[in-house]
Structure 1
Amino acid sequence: MAGRNISGLKQVHLHTLCKRRFFEAIVRRCASTSSQVHENCKASLLKKLNAKNPEESDNVCIYRVPAKLLQVEAKAYVPRIVSIGPYHHRDRHLKEMEELKLKFFQRVFKSREEREVELDSVISAMEELEPKARSCYADDLLREVGRSCSPSLIQRWMLPTLRRDLIKLENQLPMFVLHKLFELIHGSPQCENPTHSLQDLALNFFKPLLQRDTNMNAAGATTMNRTCHFLDLFRSSILPEIQDQDRKRQPRMIQSMTELKEAGVILKKSHSDRALDIRSKGRVLRIPPLHIDDHRGTLFRNMMAFEQCHKKCKPDVTAYLFFFNGIVNSADDVEILHYKGIVHHSLGCYEDAANLVNKLCKEVDWDGEESYLHKVVCEDIGVYFMSMHAKLRGRLVHYYFSNWAVGISTVAGLLALYLTLIQTGCSVAIMVNTLQKESLWSYLGLSFSLLYSRPSTPADQEDLKKE
């Protein structure tokens, strides 16, 4: 019996010892696994820490549009019929235009009696530019618009869409590539206007985008060398001449056009050849004409996206759009600007135009730094709007002369008050004249006697008549 107990105790001991060793093995394995994970994580972090991040080149100027802007209006940044850059090179909906590109290529480089342009020299030039730009572009698209001696390869319906496609941020080529191609093709018999620069041809091609009557000329060769691509060239052509010291922080937005008008701000149409040249003097505000539709919205969106991405670019178009976003809060504001000849639109109604303007700045970050409109918003118009005279005038106009019905009611009320005052004055004058003839005591005695007199009856009135 005792032997059985001892054997049972040994089995229990062995079983407990096995469990202990099993759990110890699990703990050691977990510790080993944890240590291995720690070492792997450490090695991965050290590898990332020591890795060399690619430095952004100073020549970077063509960007992918930020995702938050794409969420607002994606179609404004995607080319519709033609791609000239790498971002949308193989998009299916752009395949048809590849045939037209081939025709332009053949027109420039095809052999006839003698070569119009040496293809070898162009290939060599592009190979030298390969590290900076990995594709090329034939700039005859721009010159084709003004041709009259041969049938155009571009159909009329294509031109507006081509202009919009070639001005989109993701659909650009570096200007130095286009400039080099233009120099190589410059002496070709196909070039009918050899005195025109690529800059002049490009600005003439994009001129209808803003429907301006004046010539679009940027600042000559200096600007040509500094612009990054077509979008940057067009943007530079509409900017006013701005000195760096004129750019200051703009801590607040401008009031709506309705509020400015109620306060007495004088709005005038500017005849400046620069679309963004907004000026002010005292309470006088001068704004160049602006055409609003979906196509111009696309243009402004891409210029603003370029300013958001390009660190060397001043946010002047952004400041301009935030200015318009401030003065246009409703359809009434658009109506005021329209009747002054400043805003023209083809969107059906004033409400649609106001919605488009307000939507342009959606999801755009701007802190007001380096605003070229600081003088307009914070000094001239801002100082006048905050004056006591402007505040009093604004309240009177807002509450009593906001529209013709309220204005007529206000005038009628003032006229009634005026007539009441005249009537009261006449009554007082008659009373004063009477008091001058009779003594005050006689009137007081008559008043007390009336208090204690018996009310007259119809019989009394008959007796008085008989008498």
Structure 2
Amino acid sequence: MAGRNIWGLKRLHLQMPSKRSNSEAIFRRWASTSSQVHENCKASLLKKLNAKIHEESDNVCIYRVPAKLQQVEAEAYNPSIVSIGPYHRGDQHLKEMEKVKLKFFHRVFKSRQEGEVKLDTVISSVEELEPKARSCYADDIKLSRDEFVEMMTIDGCFILQLLREVGGRCSSPSLTQRWMLPALRRDLIKLENQLPMLVLHKLSELIDDSSRCEYSTLSLQDLALMFFKPLLQRDSDMNAAGATTTMNAPKEEIRTCHFLDLFRSSILPEIQDQDRKRQVRMIQSVTELKEAGVIFKKSQSERALDVRSKGRVLKIPPLHIDDHKGTLFRNVVAFEQCHKNCKPDATAYLFFFDGLVNSADDVEILHYKGIVHHSLGSNKEAANLVNKLCREVDWDGEESYLHKVVCEDIDDYFMSTRAKLRARLVHYYFSNWVVGISTVAGLSALYLTLIQTGCSVADTLEHMQNYSFWYYLSVSFSLLFSRPSTPPDQEDSNEE
């Protein structure tokens, strides 16, 4: 055994140098690899550092919709029949509409002799606007200058001619079929499918179509709001000239970025900066507020987001919900989420409505008040649609224009002792007509029982006045030891 141990030690001693050399080789290889990785990483980072990065301009107002919003409802942001601008240019399912756009473009420059002169002026003007128009898009547009100018010209002429045929009632027959108009309205309001308003204003000034249109005096904003008016399905005629502050502004002063921004401005209430505060609490559901005594009224305001309150009275403009209403609000919210110069007012409104509507019962209450109208299969589907609009949308309540409505009026009343007591009574004893009838019947029975008991006590007290209290007390004790009396009918039977 000792010999084996000695031999094993010798073998281990002989193997030690080889293992040491292997370790040294591994270390040298690791050091060489580490140095190579360092150099490669340094070279790659220097290349990225020196590369030209597309910096976002201050003019950016047309964005790609964030991926997290696309995951909820991608169809709400992608155009269905027509492409406007560079983001969806060349999409396979939109190529058929390119022929229609060329027909509109041809109608704008119908006279060949005049068209050449007019087209030359239009191209020169759009070419001057090309750098500023390109800077309106958040993504780096991979189009040459010629391609970009051509795209802006054709798309802009298509939009202007469409507005004049639909809103301006041109004498020439329309090039659009009836089924196209609803889809075109939804496509032209989508965030990724916008043209800068500065391009449309310039084209509108250059293209004079007064000989073929009855209402050529209408401004571009007026025509656009008339075109998009059916999207809100308002009960009263919208005053396009007063819908937004841009209507009375001179043409050279452009305050809206594109059609989506213009439409958003037309539905917002007139808000002062001092009216904005942080909204730390959310609104309760319609059912809870009604149980507490909040009164819902239909507002007559023409602006869809003009929600007002006074004490426990909440006034809300009517809202029409259909299968495509989500498209409108989703794109407005996406614009507010991306645009740094935009207050999240539509986002605040959606969170407000999302808090109001938690169930089909809430939709039913608002429907009977004339506030909510929908063309869906059931009230539950309408509630699900409203609740889905806020999914994946971030909002921290900063500078909310609904602070007074939610926190100062409705919430203060809802948290009062009177409102809490009323809410408990309504919730537990008058939640529906069956429970209400049972509660009223129980209270009536209790009331009658109390009256009967009071009358009995009054009669008893009247008889007790003839004798003293000790007399009735002694009689009561004597009944314990007295023999019970036999009824008269039993005495007759015993005698027989």
Please say which of residues 51-60 and 388-397 is displaced more in the overlay: 51-60
Matches within 5 A, 1:306-345: 306-345=335-374
Equivalent-residue separation in structure 1 for 2:489 and 2:452 (angstroms): 35
Shift of 1:45: 3.7
Q: Using a 3 Å threshold, how does the CA distance of structure 1 residues 458 and 320 change in structure 2: closer, same or farther? A: closer
Aligned equivalent of 2:8: none
The answer on 1:126 being equivalent to 2:103 is: no
Q: CA deviation at 1:193?
A: 2.9
Q: Residue 263 of structure 1: which of 276, 289, 292 is its match? A: 292
| Shift in CA distance, 397/142, structure 1 to aligned 2, threshold 3 Å | same
Query: Which of residues 342, 348, 360 in structure 1 aligns to 2:389?
Result: 360
Of stretches 456-465 and 19-28 in structure 1, the one that deviates more from structure 2 is 456-465
Q: Does 1:151 align with 2:145?
A: no
Q: Offset at 1:454?
A: 3.0
Deviations, residues 240-264 of structure 1 (Å, cap 9, x unaligned): 1001111110001111111111111
1:11-26 equivalent positions in 2, closer than 5 A: 24-26=24-26
In structure 1, the residue matched to 2:5 is none
Matched, 1:279 2:308: yes
Contact 2:170–2:214 under 8 Å retained in 1:
no
Give the secondary structure class of the aligned counterpart of 2:176. coil
CA distance in 2, matches of 1:396, 1:117: 78
| Structure 2: segments with no counterpart, 5+ residues | 1-11, 134-147
Check the 8 A contact 2:171/2:212 in 1, yes or no. Answer: no
| 2:437 is the alignment partner of 1:390 | no
* 2:256 equivalent to 1:227: yes
1:91-130 equivalences under 5 Å are 91-112=91-112, 114-115=114-115, 118-130=118-130
- Mapped to 2, the partners of 1:117 and 1:280 lie a distance apart of 57
Aligned CA distance change for structure 1 residues 287 and 464 (closer, same or farther; 3 Å): same
SS in 2 for 1:170: helix
2:163 aligned partner: 142
TM-score normalised over the length of structure 1: 0.91
| Of 145, 164, 186, the match for 2:186 | 164
Superposed counterparts of 1:357-436, under 5 Å: 357-436=386-465
Deviation at 1:440? 1.8
Tell me the alpha carbon deviations over residues 48-100 of structure 1, each in whole angstroms, 9 at most, x when there is no partner.
45666443101111111111111111111111111111111111111111110
Secondary structure (helix, strand or coil) at the match of 1:363 reads: coil
Gaps of 5+ in 1: 1-11
- 2:27 is matched with which residue? 27
- Counterpart of 1:447, as a letter, is S
Q: How many residue pairs align between the two structures?
A: 455
Partner of 1:189: 211
**How far did residue 427 of structure 1 move?**
1.2
Letter in 2 for 1:27: F
- Which residue of 2 is the match for residue 214 of structure 1? 237
Contact 2:122-2:206 within 8 A present in 1 as well: yes
**Secondary structure at 1:286 match in 2:** strand
User: Contact (CA 8 Å) 2:170, 2:213: kept in 1 or not?
Assistant: no
2:309 and 2:315 in contact (8 A); partners too = yes
Inter-CA distance 14–110: structure 2 relative to 1 (3 Å threshold): farther
The TM-score, its normalising length taken from structure 2, stands at 0.86
Q: CA deviation at 1:442?
A: 2.0
Give the secondary-structure state (helix, strand or coil) at the position aligned to 2:473. Answer: helix
Cα distance in 2, alignment partners of residues 189 and 455 from structure 1 = 117
1:16–1:407 CA distance, 2 compared to 1 (3 A) = closer
Q: Is the 8 A contact 2:172 2:212 kept in 1?
A: no
Conserved in 2, the CA contact under 8 Å of 1:63 and 1:309?
yes
The Cα RMSD (Å) is 2.5
Aligned to 1:180: 202
1:236-251 matched pairs, under 5 angstroms = 236-251=265-280
